Structure 1
């Protein structure tokens, strides 16, 4: 064999080898989360422990900051999968979208906010809130709707019995509460625990415990993406389920150590206590299935808040449980 033919054959073999290696590259998925929150601990576990990579996925996480912005990014193909409140899928569907968002894997199953007071309330009763200055969440978002639902369960009309403020951006709520003359606020962890540790405020009740199970934060994708990338969605769901099981079986201290890279400004003891608080009230879903009872509870909460769109809100169209059921039965 001539040197030229030998070099040509060698080059061809190298190209074929590179092509074969390239075919084994992970599939890229752009994931957008509505905010950065340790409420989403299983998601960060899946990223840090390599569960997505094990499924052949390269998941690129970005924080979009806000339900409206997250859904805009999803519908415009800026992201492939959104982690956001399932109410947003209802809003999109009600606008007669031709390519609506489908919920396929539930991550959290309770509200994640806590009632925080600037003053100690050792004998707190819900009626103590009446006539108080209350810093609420964004109108139409899950925290505010669940908050209103719980208050009404305790015979408090949030718009008539409180001095309710809803004009502060989500990301600015903690600082607004700290610097303003508000007496109460709804806060997620770890902010609630940080405020408590600093002695500025006190956690006095849990909206998650009061409101019951609800599909609070869910992974969703456009209908077209689900149809065209079924295997990727299944792989994504398997990774999430593996993380859910690990979180369920693991002590808060170890979970905190794993997800700390996503919360570099939060002390480890705060992360640990916050995770323990969420675990103890069953906030982290133990499997990715969004069942119909939870969906109906969401609808009741939205209707009570005056935010449920008119017309049919079909569970069977907006929720795909087949993938999650297949994953947990593997």
Structure 2
């Protein structure tokens, strides 16, 4: 009997060891991401999850959509998330308020504006001059979409405050429904909403703000400086997984990307998702590596300054950590 018990114990040990080996030998570490919105614009993030790139790094990613820059940053500051996916301008706003634990941008996801100009009427020969005298349903004041939008309007000789009726008091999540219910002649929208409206005949895409505004760190992964210092390997693994996803998206067709990320857009036809992915790929919206360089950072602050929203100039190295991304890229 005693021999039988010993044999059973040894057998159980072998089972446990085998289970540990099968699971990678270690427990996965949870990383909570708060994304500013749900958009095909963030395709590489969803690819990293669905293709198992985070899992390969031993990370269990928990993704929450927090709908808006203010809410996303509040969630991060209140420790409701470990990492935020949001516009880099938010880190500047926090820093300008005198935070003793600044928010550090460590991996870039998108490198152009991700919004499109949608007209209520079909315009065969659209000109930016068509906006003059119109009602324009814009994004939140001080947010990157609105600032990039105003930058483009000014580039085309349009004064947003005087040449059109600019509406900015609609909550981010309610902008599409406001336009659908009849507010505005033009609206600035993310995908897939812009293409959905076009398919439903509610509006017509006439221009891309991304093509017009140049390279900017439009959406980046960021975390508190303290989190990065306390979890350097976790952040590095996170960035490595992202880089794998960026390379995968860059080397695969829009159709293949659409099929992978479709679970995040269950109410959207795969053909429409493919169209949107192709649109973003063709205009270079998806960053092909996680490095947020100095030129993009400067362009961001120039756009903020032009919009009158730059609280103070911040040096690139103050709020951007490129070492992590560069180390990961150097492993290739």
Alignment coverage as a number of residue pairs: 329
CA–CA distance in 2 between the matches of 1:29 and 1:181?
Answer: 39
**Aligned residue runs from structure 1 range 155-304, under 5 A:** 155-304=157-306
SS at match of 2:49: helix
SS at match of 2:79: coil
Range moving further from structure 2, 227-236 or 13-22: 13-22
How far apart are 1:292 and its partner, in Å? 0.3
How far apart are 1:200 and its partner, in Å? 2.0
Give deviations 1:288-327, integer Å, cap 9, x for gaps.
00000000000000001111013x4121020000111111
How far apart are 1:100 and its partner, in Å? 1.0
Query: What is the RMSD computed on CA atoms of the aligned residues?
Result: 2.1
CA–CA distance in 1 between the matches of 2:243 and 2:19?
Answer: 32
CA–CA distance in 2 between the matches of 1:224 and 1:8?
Answer: 47
- Using the size of structure 1 for normalisation, the TM-score is 0.95
CA–CA distance in 1 between the matches of 2:254 and 2:285?
Answer: 13
- Choose from 50, 53, 58 the match for 1:51: 53
1:151 aligns with 2:116: no
Structure 2, unaligned runs of 5 or more: none
Range moving further from structure 2, 76-85 or 1-10: 1-10
CA–CA distance in 2 between the matches of 1:95 and 1:14?
Answer: 56
Give deviations 1:197-252, integer Å, cap 9, x for gaps.
12221111110000000000000010001001111111100111111011111111
SS at match of 2:222: strand
Q: Which residue of 2 aligns with 1:81?
A: 83
CA–CA distance in 2 between the matches of 1:193 and 1:5?
Answer: 66
Is the CA contact (8 Å cut-off) linking 2:142 and 2:309 kept in structure 1? yes
Structure 1, unaligned runs of 5 or more: none
Q: Which residue of 1 aligns with 2:324?
A: 323
SS at match of 1:308: coil
Range moving further from structure 2, 174-183 or 100-109: 174-183
Give deviations 1:224-281, integer Å, cap 9, x for gaps.
0100111111110011111101111111111111000000001111101011111110
Q: Which residue of 1 aligns with 2:44?
A: 42
- Using the size of structure 2 for normalisation, the TM-score is 0.94
